[in-house]
Amino acid sequence: MDREARFLMRVVAGRSFFRTSLGQSRGGELYYSPEKRIARYTGGRADRPDQRGVSGTTMGRKPNPLLEEFLDRSIPLPPVRWETVPAGVDPHIVWEAYDEGIEGWVPVWFPTHEPVSGRTYGEFERAHLFNEDLERILKAMHHWPLWGTPAHRKHAVAIALLQLFCELEGFCERV
């Protein structure tokens, strides 16, 4: 079992919603094998836990509607033009890390607190602010509302996410 699968197994075994949904044996342990637990948690894809996709949402949380096509692995993402990416930014990290425990699946790099006062955002407030920022960037790109083929819409959202990350990290100006 590789490192990623072991990590996912530890995460899955520690979640109470997962224990109650699978049931317990007489000894108090889950009666499913680790492979089956991972497969159930990842929507049947135990070999690639990162390809869970939209259908395998965690705890009933759904991704932001703007991210649904972006998260669909069956739609190819156009190649990255590295000359347009600021130095020190890995687009794949920007595009792959989502907090699935929050309604709307906010990226983990999106701020959890207000920068000036330090006040912590609530779950829904953070999701709302992320959605507003994403829409603002898509409007500046003249892609709001999203239009075109699914691949074209996925590419527009990918560029908007990269722009938002760069704005938050101070690599570029706000549009």
- The predicted pLDDT at position 101 comes to 81
Residue (of 105, 100, 104, 128) closest to 17 by Cα position: 100
User: Which amino acid belongs to residue 58?
Assistant: T
- The predicted pLDDT at position 21 comes to 31
Domain boundaries, the chain: 3-51, 54-169
- The predicted pLDDT at position 2 comes to 55
- The predicted pLDDT at position 17 comes to 27
Q: What is the pLDDT along the chain (175 residues), one digit of tens a residue?
A: 555 545 444 444 433 222 323 333 334 333 344 444 444 444 444 444 444 444 444 456 788 888 999 999 999 988 888 888 888 888 988 998 888 888 888 999 999 999 899 999 998 999 999 999 999 999 999 999 999 999 999 999 999 999 999 999 999 999 8
Instruction: Report the DSSP beta bridge partners of residue 60.
Output: none
- The predicted pLDDT at position 3 comes to 53
Containing 98, the helix (H) or strand (E) segment is: strand 98-99
Give the ranges where the chain is alpha helix by DSSP (H). 3-13, 16-22, 34-41, 68-71, 91-96, 123-140, 150-169
pLDDT per residue over 88-127, tens digit each? 888 988 998 888 888 888 999 999 999 899 999 998 999 9
- The predicted pLDDT at position 1 comes to 52
